[in-house]
Amino acid sequence: MHELSLITNLFDILEKQANDKNAKKIVHVKLQVGVLSGAVPELLESAFDIYKKDTIAREAAITIEKVPLKMDCKDCKAELISNDYILTCSQCGSSNLKTIAGTELILEKIELEI
């Protein structure tokens, strides 16, 4: 399961941050998940809840914000936003597109209790 390895990596980062700041616990974690990141937010949430039990984040809540796909058309400079793949520009029909956002998974914020 893809989400479980993402969560394992996430916890490596969380525990390192908490250690660096001598935090007692992690109270809140916020992720941004691109619609084309390959991760399903609902599965990330349940993986987080399973994994957190024996960690410093055992009482932490998670918020996952879905980030739509954003692309720029290199020909007409239109900005295209969608929740699905964009193959051609809706303005000029060009396929000369550049991906700006929507394919990544970002740890946006960690709230710690010190």
78 binds Zn ion (CB under 5 A): yes
Residue (14 or 89) nearer to Zn ion, CB: 89
92 binds Zn ion (CB under 5 A): yes
Q: Which stretch binds Zn ion (CB under 5 A): 2-10, 22-30, 36-44, 65-73?
A: 65-73
DSSP 53: G
Report the residue from 31, 39, 64, 73 that binds Zn ion according to the rule CB under 5 A.
Answer: 73
- As to burial, measured by CB atoms within 10 angstroms (0-12 exposed, 13-18 middle, 19+ buried), residue 97 is middle
Determine which helix (DSSP H) or strand (DSSP E) holds 44, and give its type and residue range: helix 41-51
76 binds Zn ion (CB under 5 A): yes
How many CB atoms neighbour CB 103 within 10 A? 14
Give the HSE-up count for residue 88: Cα atoms under 13 Å, Cβ half-sphere.
5
94 binds Zn ion (CB under 5 A): yes
Binding stretches for Zn ion (CB under 5 A): 73, 75-76, 78, 89, 91-92, 94
